[in-house]
Amino acid sequence: MLEVLNRYIIGAAVPFFLVFAGTYFAIYLKAPHIIHPIKLMGEMKRGGRRSVKAMFLALGGTLGVGNMVGVAGAIVLGGAGAVLWMCVSALFAMLLKYAEIVLAMTHKRRKGEEERSGAVYYISDILGRLGYKKSGNFFASFFAVLCLFVAFSMGGMIQTEAATGAVESTFGIPRLVVGGGIALLAFYVIKKGKKGIMGVTDKLVPFMTVGYAILSFAVIIKRWEALPDVLGEILTDAFTPKAVASGIFGYVFSSSVRYGVMRGLISNEAGCGTSPMAHGAGGETSAAGQGAFGIVEVFVDTVLLCTMTAIVILLDGSYVYSDGRDLIGVTVRAYSAVLGKSAEKFMTVAVLFFAMATVVCWAYYAIECTTFLFGENKTAKTLLPIVYSLSIVAVSVYAGDLHWQVADLSLGIMTLINIFILFLGRAEIKRETAACLGIDRKKKR
């Protein structure tokens, strides 16, 4: 039943609405991510280092093995031209990320020194403002429950499943041992709370991003003479119908649910309403300024890392023999073909680090949703890290795809709810953007 819903209803509706909403906001907001991103960030009042740490936290939830799988899938399906359209699609996704962060910042809750933000709060506020207070509370709570499902399934279990499989294949370490290690580390970090989680992602995300970029550049430099041919192939192939379709959908399906229909949803989770919980921790007083960090997040995740991965795959060329099943193998082989066995080991370690960052980031989201649903209930706060860690251990020995189906369905419904609320709050988003850019002041003059 879940498979049918995911494939024929959620899997068909979500990509359409993501592309439509991204296009709409690009026109409605006059594409500030292209024209004024530096201006937006220059208007920040007091975010500083906290805003950067918030971006790294959000990146921890989006960077992962799905980047590798989604890019390989787009190329295998649509050829080299798909790469250009993945980047074009990312430009529209930046606006969805920007829009949801702006709303989250303007609907923050403050209790003492604690700040709470996220889609749950602007869902409740916007529907309440329109006279649907009970509906607002219901959909906000429903969203929080769905987000908890995704945190346990996609954030914890799916990432751990990928990491344990990669480590066992490369180093021969049993899955249960690797899963147990990840679970213990996750429990330790989660018990430290929001500051502990942000401390991990603040150090881990830049390290693994730079390391992955260096590895990619090493491959590109070693095959420098073939780069002009690859770039020419991308441009030549980009305007075939197959490339356009698979490029757009290769992006849309490339990393929110990580593998296959909805297994990745969006390489940066733009539109599903999760990362505003991370960006809300930035402490920024300018909503549009913090939203600009969301634009940077999409750029790093998709335009930078995904494009580098794509070029490495195209330089290798062996993807043409792929049947579309072992997509992560396509990526790993492309690196190891140039850099040797050491690259395979590095890629395995990278998968482990990517997974760990995603695990702790989604634990942060789980904490936020639990707090929204139960307040400061001590029982809930005590049980969450225990249950979350046990689910990580369980997937090390569990054989099945129920957690995939739960993640697909939950994230899809969250995205549809969030996009609808973004449309309802579009005037507020535009007002905040105009105020940050000084458009209102110019008109008064």
Q: Tell me phi and psi for residue 142, to 5 degrees.
A: -60, -45
Number of other CB atoms surrounding residue 203 within 10 Å: 13
CB of 278 within 8 A of CB of 293? no
Closest CA to 64 of 407, 415, 422: 407
pTM above 0.85, yes or no: no
Length of the chain (residues): 445
Give ∠ CA 434-440-443 in degrees, rounded to 5: 135
Model pLDDT, residue 394: 86
Beta-carbon contacts of 430 under 8 Å, excluding residues fewer than 6 positions away, are 28, 29
Can you name the residues that pair with 116 across neighbouring β-strands? Answer: 109
SS (H, E, C) the chain: CHHHHHHHHHHHHHHHHHHHHHHHHHHHCCCHHHHCHHHHHHCCCCCHHHHHHHHHHHHHHHCCHHHHHHHHHHHHHHCCCHHHHHHHHHHHHHHHHHHHHHHHHHCCEEECCEEECCHHHHHHHHHHHCCCHHHHHHHHHHHHHHHHHHHHHHHHHHHHHHHHHHHHHHHCCCHHHHHHHHHHHHHHHHHCHHHHHHHHHHHHHHHHHHHHHHHHHHHHHHCHHHHHHHHHHHHHHCCCHHHHHHHHHHHHCCCCCCCCCCCCCCCCCCCCCCCHHHHHHHCCCCHHHHHHHHHHHHHHHHHHHHHHHHHHHHHHCHHHHCCCCCHHHHHHHHHHHHHCHHHHHHHHHHHHHHHHHHHHHHHHHHHHHHHHHHCCCHHHHHHHHHHHHHHHHHHCCCCCCHHHHHHHHHHHHHHHHHHHHHHHCHHHHHHHHHHHHCHHHHHHC
Closest CA to 384 of 204, 200, 194: 194
Residues of the chain with pLDDT under 70: 1, 3, 6-8, 11-12, 32-51, 61, 64-66, 69-70, 77, 111-113, 241-268, 281-285, 323-327, 399-400, 437-445
Closest CA to 367 of 33, 118, 135: 118
Number of other CB atoms surrounding residue 380 within 10 Å: 14
Q: Distance between CA atoms of 130 and 113, rounded to whole angstroms?
A: 30
CB of 252 within 8 A of CB of 3? no
Q: What is the CA radius of gyration of the chain?
A: 21
CB of 426 within 8 A of CB of 28? yes
Q: Distance between CA atoms of 268 and 246, rounded to whole angstroms?
A: 18
Q: What is the pLDDT of residues 309-335, one digit of tens each?
A: 889 999 988 877 776 666 677 888 888
Q: What is the pLDDT of residues 37-82, one digit of tens each?
A: 555 555 555 555 666 777 777 777 677 666 776 677 778 767 787 7
Model pLDDT, residue 265: 42
CB of 328 within 8 A of CB of 65? yes
Q: Distance between CA atoms of 31 and 45, rounded to whole angstroms?
A: 22
Q: Distance between CA atoms of 19 and 13, rounded to whole angstroms?
A: 10
- Segments making up each domain of the chain, as ranges: 2-444
Q: Distance between CA atoms of 214 and 117, rounded to whole angstroms?
A: 35
SS (H, E, C) 38-76: HHHHHCCCCCHHHHHHHHHHHHHHHCCHHHHHHHHHHHH
Model pLDDT, residue 336: 86
* CATH architecture of the domain with range 2-444: Up-down Bundle (1.20)
Can you name the residues that pair with 114 across neighbouring β-strands? Answer: 111
Closest CA to 302 of 240, 263, 349, 256: 256
Model pLDDT, residue 115: 76
Beta-carbon contacts of 327 under 8 Å, excluding residues fewer than 6 positions away, are 68, 69, 72, 73, 76, 259
Beta-carbon contacts of 109 under 8 Å, excluding residues fewer than 6 positions away, are 115, 116, 117, 121
